Amino acid sequence: MSKTAKGKPLNGQTIAKHFQRNTPYYVMLAIPVLYFAIFRYWPMFGLAIAFQNYKPGMPFLNSGAKWVGLKWFIQFLNYPFAWRLVRNTLLLSFYSLIVGFPLAIFLALILNEIRSRKLKEFTTTLSFLPHFISTTVVVGMLTNFLNINDGIINQLIVRMGGTAKDFMGTARYFRTLYVASGCWQNLGFSAIVYSAAIAGVDPGLYEAAFVDGSSRWKNMWLITIPNILPTIIVMLILRVGSLMSVGHEKVILMYSDRILETADVLSTYTYRVGITDGSPKVSYATAIGLMNSLVNLLLVVVTNTISRHVGETSLW
């Protein structure tokens, strides 16, 4: 007979009372469990498509499917623009990481130093509201502000004696616009995690430091940051694990044929060859996605291993 943590035997009545008492928690737990089971784990059976010559509508695990091994993986590696796709994906993710990651921490630290409760609540709310603006609206705002004819940015440039520029149609501006708009949209929301970690720091540490004559600036460096460092490391590992994952939605809304040199990434190429082409290559697109996921997994494992050996914080 199974026992509880206190050593008491479990029976049917005890288990029933336990579930009855904790029903709301199990209901809340069921929602994410079902989500991951249906939308994350069940679709993994479809990875078999990457090793088949799959045609849309065909059951991908039936006995009549033609298995082609690593054909699609080799085909992508031999694709003339494969390196450009990988380079653009990595650069967009890397720039977003080195700009957005420290800025989110800095914002959380600044918010923590605001002593007025109303001002702090107002600033916090204002900072994460852009996260709830749809990507389509954000790109629409970019297009309107940067329009070469009547955009407010170009109007200011012309009034100051400059020449209007086609920001949205010039390849060298794409990464800057992508990263800057992403930071504006997600910075406040990303800072919530660090704000929560800061809220868990023992207030007694600050009081003792002030008694010893420490300033608020020193407290930030000597108390706040060291106490939230494990959270920072965990978030960094997770971010590094998504370096090869640049969503296609925003890129597709922003890019055009004139800026494919810097805007075309793995997800947009996968979207084109797997869905929008006249004869979609579903197996080919699945193989690219699988390679992408494997690289992300490798990045997580390597980063986590380095973190575990260098410090004491890691995911596992």
Over residues 12-31, the pLDDT tens digits come to 677 778 788 888 888 899 99
Model pLDDT, residue 209: 84
48 and 197 belong to one structural domain: no
User: Is 5 a domain residue?
Assistant: no
pLDDT band at 232 (very low <50, low <70, confident <90, very high): very high
Q: Which residues of 225-250 are buried (b: 16+ CB within 10 A; e: fewer)?
A: eeebeebbbbbbbebbbebbebebeb
Model pLDDT, residue 215: 82
Under DSSP, the state recorded for 55 is -
The number of beta carbons lying within 10 Å of the beta carbon of residue 224 is 21
Report the number of distinct structural domains present in the chain. 2
> What is the rounded distance in angstroms from the CA atom of residue 213 to the CA atom of residue 233?
30
User: Is 316 a domain residue?
Assistant: no
Tell me which of 204 and 14 has the higher pLDDT. Answer: 204
User: Is 4 a domain residue?
Assistant: no
Give the CA count within 13 Å in the CB-facing half-sphere of 155.
7
> What is the rounded distance in angstroms from the CA atom of residue 170 to the CA atom of residue 166?
6
- Tell me phi and psi for residue 52, to 5 degrees: -125, 165
pTM: 0.84
63 and 83 belong to one structural domain: no
Output the six-digit token pair for 3. 């026992």
User: Is 1 a domain residue?
Assistant: no
User: Is 52 a domain residue?
Assistant: yes
82 and 212 belong to one structural domain: yes
Model pLDDT, residue 10: 57
121 and 219 belong to one structural domain: yes
pLDDT band at 100 (very low <50, low <70, confident <90, very high): very high
19 and 154 belong to one structural domain: no
56 and 89 belong to one structural domain: no
Model pLDDT, residue 8: 55
Region of residue 11 (left: phi > 0; alpha: psi -120 to 50; beta: else): beta
Least confident of 52-66, 74-88, 100-114, 190-204: 52-66
302 and 188 belong to one structural domain: yes
Last residue of a domain, one of 24, 42, 69: 69
% residues pLDDT > 90 (the chain)? 34
Model pLDDT, residue 311: 76
Say if residue 60's pLDDT is above 70. no
190 and 238 belong to one structural domain: yes
Per residue in 246-269, pLDDT (tens digit) is 888 899 998 888 888 999 999 999
Domain membership of residue 40 as a residue range:
12-69
Model pLDDT, residue 103: 94
pLDDT band at 1 (very low <50, low <70, confident <90, very high): very low
Say if residue 139's pLDDT is above 90. yes
129 and 176 belong to one structural domain: yes
Model pLDDT, residue 277: 76
Mean pLDDT calculated for residue range 82-89:
92
Model pLDDT, residue 241: 85
Model pLDDT, residue 57: 74
Model pLDDT, residue 90: 92
101 and 28 belong to one structural domain: no
SS3 189: helix
User: Is 226 a domain residue?
Assistant: yes
88 and 214 belong to one structural domain: yes
> What is the rounded distance in angstroms from the CA atom of residue 316 to the CA atom of residue 310?
14
17 and 62 belong to one structural domain: yes
Q: Looking at residue 115, which CATH number applies to its domain?
A: 1.10.3720.10
Model pLDDT, residue 67: 83
User: Is 119 a domain residue?
Assistant: yes
User: Is 3 a domain residue?
Assistant: no
Last residue of a domain, one of 69, 91, 106: 69
Q: Which residues of 106-142 are buried (b: 16+ CB within 10 A; e: fewer)?
A: ebbbebbeeeeeeeeeeebeebbebeeeebeebbeeb
